Structure 1
Amino acid sequence: MEKFYQKGRGAQKNVANKFFELEHIQEDEFLEYCHKEGEKAVDDKTHFQEVFPKTFVNKVNSPDVGMGFSANPYQGCEHGCIYCYARNSHEYWGYSAGQDFEQQILVKKNAPQLLEKKLNSKNWQGDTIIFSGNTDCYQPIEKKLQITRKCLEIMLKYKHPTGIITKNALILRDLDILKELAKFNLIRVNISITSLSEETRRILEPRTATIKKRLNVVETLSANNIPVNVMMAPIIPSINSHEIFPLVKKVSELGAISVGYTIVRLNGAIAEIFKDWIEKTMPDRAEKVLHQIEACHGGNLNDSRFGTRMKGEGEFAKQIAQQFTIARQKFLKKTSILPLDNSHFLQLKNPQYKLF
């Protein structure tokens, strides 16, 4: 019997939280029975809960993620990307990394106040803060709550270096703020585009902006002199690994100044979630994909070692790296990318800074 597949969601079930010794998880058989009988097995709505953190800006200690500090207005992400490394972080809040990650969203309404407090702290020296180091700051609820926009207003007020990672076209709502930040070399935007295929996008990233809209974001930001890097992350063998050349070519034509990538790694609970998902969505090639992922990580689905975990190793990983090298040389212009400028912030904080 074909396994029950819930459309509009990435993860197809909840998995046990490693922090709980005893936990009841609904089994596939129960879900399939309800589907057959026409009954509703689970609550498929998204729920939002306000939380009250004491801090908002987090120091990133991982040396290979390309950021020093991150800020996340939301925990959990309705986008539902099946491969998302951030799923595991939901376990710290007492939820599952599976469907809970997509349906139980924690909201930090006090984020703008905490951000301003951080920027005013005595020892803060204006290091770049990346929004969405964990979950997307422009996920659907942002349209209503506007927490990210309020944070960006704070960043502009203090002329503070800002980075953004997103795969949602909602970022264009804040084009006015981004243009002002760009005037002072205070902004870099990273747009995640995993595929040029809308069909692939729908099953990998069910509640994200369409590929057409994301390409429009790249073009619009670039046209407004806002530097855009495109992240093809992650590369998943036999799903999107054949798209490197056409994707780099397309985004370069739209004005992207650089393109980066990572190779999928199924860390923690994500391995079980991904396996369940691919057996339901791509049963004909599930085994092949999983074996090729293992080939990139020394025979395992995950590699936690700094330096190799993002790019992988082995012949398949080498082929991907070579394709990106050639694609960049062929399609991307040689552009010098200046570091973001924190001197404006330091001068606002201490007018005597300009004397040094």
Structure 2
Amino acid sequence: MPLPHRLRSTLVALIGSTLITVLAVACSSTPTAGPGAGAAEDGFPVRLSHAFGTITVEQRPQRIVTLGEDLDTLAALGITPVAYAPTAPGYSDDVPYLKDRIDLSGATVLDGAETGEFKIEQIAAAAPDLILASNFYGMPELYDELSKIAPTLAYATGWGETSWQELSATIGRAAGEEDRARAAVAETEQYLADLRADLPALEGKTVAGAYYHSSGTFAANPRSASMQKYTALGLRVNPPLLEALPEGASDNSVSRETMDVLDADLLILSYGSDALRSELEADPIFRRLKAVRSGTIYVNDPTDRLPTFAGNNPTLLNIVWLLEQQRETLAKVR
């Protein structure tokens, strides 16, 4: 049975590592070919390239719709969308790291965020002049329809592959707030640098992560951008996990029998349900994992989806929030 879009996204990108280097575009003030190239003196029009083509933002947008975690970057820039998709199931205007940044009480909450099956007519009714969906996985199915409503910014290459720095910089250019985006990115990078200095024992240690979504089966993607926050702290993805899931592999599954590829110094784990958590915690193979024995395993609560989705989709705001939740576990790694 095909999995729902939102669940499929969790299977594909929950807890991985990134080999993406912090891109110079996130800190550059001189646009090159691609996003931002050819901008006029006042910053507009702006041409932005993405996986489905090129869009032109003719003037500073006034009515922005967000379909993914681009909402976080807008909030960091002090911009309120006219309509948005909730960051995670169960959350609308109460996401803790958006508090006191923007007021979402007057914005339209889009239906269908959990499955990715948005109502096109609801988006059109918001009369957007820009749709931000650079971190929305469902673009292959929706891009054509969305682009008929307004210029629509999708991901640069593939979903979950672009660094949060590049996403933030591109959104800043699209919104006419490139300088503010650059400053916001620098602030988060400074947080990561400070945390790395505070936790020197992390340097060179290994990290693995997975989603236990059904009995006996994990999903992992060690090469997605979702774990950039951990590699930025000096950790490296567990080599056996990289070997088990080679680049380009069509299957990102880890079975109970091959669970040892998750035997890293730090393990980030999510569960599909409380029942699955109980099942795995009783498994003797799981209990022998280094992180389980040493207490360096961080478990996302199955009943609260925000940490899971924040982990999947790193942004300049949720990175800080999530790592603060995990600081106690990070400090145990030796």
Q: Is TM more than 0.5 here? A: no
TM-score, normalised to structure 2, is 0.29
Structure with higher Rg: it is: 1
